[in-house]
Amino acid sequence: MTDAAASTTSSESPASLPPLRSDIDVARREADGRTEYILKDPLSSRHFRLDAVEWFVAMLLDGHRTAAEVHARAVQQYPETHLTVDEIVRFVRRLALAGMLRLSGRGDLDRLMALRPQGGGLRLVNLFWQIFYIRIPLLNPDRLITALHARVAFLGRPWPLALMAALVLAAATLVLWHWPRLVEPRAEFLSARGLAWLLVAMVGVKVVHELAHACVCKHYGGRVPEMGLVLIVFTPCLYCDVSDAWMFPSRRSRLAVTAAGIAAELVLAAAAALVFVATRDGAIHQAAFSLMIVAGVSTILFNGNPLLRYDGYYLLSDAIETPNLRLRARRYLVAAVRRLVLGDPVPDLDRPDRRRGFVLLYGIAAYLYGWFILYAILGMLYRKLEAYDLQALAGALIALGVVMQLGVPLWRFGAVLGRLVRQPGSPWRFARAVAVAGGLVLVGVTAANVEFTETLSRTCVVQSDEPYDVRAEQPGFVAAVLVRPGQRVAKGQPLVRLVNEQLLADLRGAEADVAVHRVLADRAQADGDLVTAGQLRTQLDQLRDVADHARRRVAQLTVASPGDGLVSTDDLDRLLGLWMEQGSPLMRVARAGRFRVTVQLGQKQAERVAVGAPAELKVRAWPERTFDGRVSDSSRMASAAAPAVLTTLYEGDVAVRPGADGWAAAETIYRAELQLADGQAILRDGMSGKARIYLGRTSLGRYLWRTVADELSLDLLLKWASS
């Protein structure tokens, strides 16, 4: 019917088709000048949407007519649809599988399903996607929703709606005003407590989201027969069956039910934003941030996205009065390709439809977005399975996904060409198809060979070249820190003052011994006892050496800078009151004007970065300046450690995961260093920014292939396929 592919072949049909169930509830609706019918199974609460032609065919199912007889009546009533017997049979089979027909036994369904089995490729495609969408009903919440609706129904009045709208607008203004604070790095977001708050926020937001749908559905007289879990790519999500909204004759009511979840999340996000701005560090602040991210970002990127079959899709579908928007867009897209390739008149494109252009553009966007989703899902699956050493299974899933998304359409196109070759009188259609296919291949090959300069952009950190390590020269307690982080210091400038009472006591004792022996030596000299005076003066010289040594040790309690530079250690106040052993590190002083830029790379990236490659640097402290340089070193030594500023904890590129000793890189990383040609006088140790490394000339095809291969590890897939 409207969502079945056209077919010109017929098949053997049963003696009679099963009749439509007499207890099915039917609602008639007008949508954009078209009439549609909503069928509801009162036992399972499942719904089925039919257009006028499908409803006419359904009404012909009386248990006596055969498929051929139904086809004859339908073609007589709607000759412009060009229906075939196969389409009639497929439509009846869909009704049977949906439970809308009265079957005398399992044999009726088996006999109906055996008329014309679906194509193997289509079954595989459906099976492939069903793996990623598993629905698990849990309870019938209708009585609970009825009680809840009685308590929150006042929120649907004009003044509460106006207040909630004002809250969302005020929060949006605050978010824009405090945007720099919102996007600043947050290491605590990925801490154990942060992840716990995130999980609580996700569960709470989804519960509120589904309850909002349910309460609005109940408000307009619908039932909520089912609530449960749905596993989307093995990730559990809550769902609530509000399909009764399909029966509402008012489009406004249907839109309200669909928009309720998005509206509830936006109100939660707005309230969380106000709390976040009004608080500082603490549990409430962190909980508000998590709630704001879950309720706000997920609504914009997922629930409100019309390219995904969530609330945004159904809102758009109802708003433009185009039922089965994705299905119709796909049909228009296939029809347009068929007209372009074969030159056939396509009824779907010839019928008047003022929204056809928009729906066709939506179909193109949805198709491209489908590839993006497939790419993201397979990449995520690979990374999850890789953690359990299941790369072979990941490779098999990647191969299956690519075959289903690309191989099946190509196989169908080849089947069409094969039929054209066998059909008499259609050489021009075959020639046109080959010409169009050849032209597309030529365009693709030409585009794949377009060359450009490939660059690599990575987070980087400025580090001092051989900085001074300032250490305690004598043991003692830190009494004072005389500098602050980032302060410019000169050679010999005091940095830290330590206190050691034992050293001070030793100095006082040595000085007292010197004073006593000086008096004794002078007295012996005055008494004419030259021998004693000589011995005392020898001892005095030794005691002076001891006193000088004690004085030097006390002087070393004041730690001075070993050279000119900048203090590069943060949080120096933590040193106050600590006991430092001799040689304990105190701080680092970056050498003035001598810096290197460190970039962390993945394995594939490290293989493409060559020493001498030109590079550019932009630091956050000087966003208007671009510093030129070159790659001075590209280490092939693997590491699991990276400066914190280069990790995802601080808006870096290196993904991290919890380890035994804190956060560790989630993959093996490699280091590259850049030597800057200018601007080092204004750089400071610890500054971060973005480095762009020029990798050389490459073609678009090679770049795309390498990007996909890097993300999905297709090199592993190729090895697996060839084994």
pLDDT tens digits, one per residue of 481-506: 998 887 888 889 999 999 999 989 98
Distance of CA 344 to the CA centre of its chain: 42
Looking up tokens 């099976």 gives 127
Report how far residue 493's alpha carbon sits from residue 495's, in angstroms, rounded to the nearest whole number. Answer: 6
Does the model's pTM come out above 0.85? no
Whether the Cβ atoms of residue 232 and residue 248 lie closer than 8 Å to each other? no
Report how far residue 687's alpha carbon sits from residue 691's, in angstroms, rounded to the nearest whole number. Answer: 12
The type of residue at 662 is: G
pLDDT at 248 over 90: no
Report how far residue 393's alpha carbon sits from residue 396's, in angstroms, rounded to the nearest whole number. Answer: 5
% of the chain surpassing 90 pLDDT: 9
- The size of the chain, in residues, is 723
Per-residue pLDDT tens digits for 672-717:
888 887 655 677 777 788 889 998 888 888 887 777 666 555 444 4
Report how far residue 471's alpha carbon sits from residue 469's, in angstroms, rounded to the nearest whole number. Answer: 6
Res 63: pLDDT: 81
CA quadruple 172, 173, 176, 182: dihedral sign: negative
Contacts of 249 (CB under 8 A, 6+ apart): 27, 29
Res 713: pLDDT: 52
Q: At what angle do helices 311-319 and 325-342 cross, to 10 degrees?
A: 70
Per-residue pLDDT tens digits for 545-565:
888 988 999 999 999 998 888
Whether the Cβ atoms of residue 28 and residue 37 lie closer than 8 Å to each other? yes
DSSP type of residue 466: S
Contacts of 717 (CB under 8 A, 6+ apart): 395, 398, 399
Give which of 75, 81, 112 is closest to 96, Cα–Cα. 112
More confident residue, 208 or 49: 208
Distance of CA 297 to the CA centre of its chain: 11
DSSP type of residue 301: I
Whether the Cβ atoms of residue 214 and residue 224 lie closer than 8 Å to each other? yes
If one counts every other C-beta atom within 10 angstroms of the C-beta of residue 530, the result is: 10
Domains of the chain, first to last = 1-117 (no CATH), 136-319 (no CATH), 374-451 (no CATH), 468-587 (no CATH), 594-712 (2.40.30.170)
Per-residue pLDDT tens digits for 295-335:
887 788 788 888 887 888 888 888 887 777 888 888 777 77
